[in-house]
Structure 1
Amino acid sequence: MQILVVDDDPLACEMTATLLEFQGYTTVMANDAMEATQQLDSLDSIGLIVSDMHMPLINGIEFLEMLREQGVTLPFILLTGDSPDSTIMQTPGLNACLQKDAELESTLGNAVTQALNG
């Protein structure tokens, strides 16, 4: 199983993927929602999506909503540089919304475990 990491900031994308790989997961990276959709279409091994919130063209919530409309039900974790908003946390199909902070290594690992086992 692979985790798809979506972030328009290449450094942030690489750091998130490295955190996940350090915890034993295999990752695939995409720079935006369109590239992520192509990865999902071409790889059957993706089992979870970790996406940045603030991206050009299609943000993380819009990407999640687009996937759900297409019938994609993979667990979805949203990352944001802001404090997670309570209205975002209520988005249907969203497993977790995490702040990109010093605690991300542990919070992301816990959220992935919960999303995969939930």
Structure 2
Amino acid sequence: MRILVVDDDSLAGEITAAYLEALGHEPVIALDAMEAASQLDTHADIALIVSDMHMPLIDGLALLAMLREQGITLPFILLTGDAPPPGATRQPGLTACLQKDTDLDVALARAIEQAFKA
């Protein structure tokens, strides 16, 4: 499955992409929200979005809101270096909010599985 990874920190984005590749997915990396929108236009087969929360200009929650306003309803997983903020998981359209820690690979695999359970 093709997954869009949005992270302004290229190293963090590459680490997330490596986790996804290890799970058998095909990551596409974007460094900001505008590039993410462009990648969504370019790759019609993107099935899920994994975004960093804290990015300059347009953060992960704002990206989620922008995509929902455009009618894009793909599953959306938010990553944060901090503890997930209270109520983040109740954000409309947000599949999961995960902390970037040593268990991220396991948590990300679980969140992706949950996103596609019927």
TM range (shorter): over 0.9
Greater shift, 83-92 or 52-61, is seen at 83-92
1:80 aligned partner: 80
Deviating 4+ runs (over 6 angstroms): none
* Matched position secondary structure for 1:83: coil
Offset at 1:86?
2.1
2:117 aligned partner: 117
1:6 aligned partner: 6
RMSD: 0.8
2:92 aligned partner: 92
2:24 aligned partner: 24
Greater shift, 12-21 or 80-89, is seen at 80-89
Please give the alpha-carbon distance, in whole angstroms, between the structure 1 residues aligned to 2:15 and 2:44: 24
Please give the alpha-carbon distance, in whole angstroms, between the structure 1 residues aligned to 2:43 and 2:105: 26
1:60 aligned partner: 60
The share of aligned pairs that are identical, in percent, is 60
Taking structure 2 as the reference length, the TM-score comes to 0.97
Which structure 1 residue ranges, 5 or more long, are not aligned?
Answer: none
Q: Deviations over 1:83-103 (max 9, x none)?
A: 012221110000000000001
Q: Deviations over 1:66-88 (max 9, x none)?
A: 00000000000000001012221
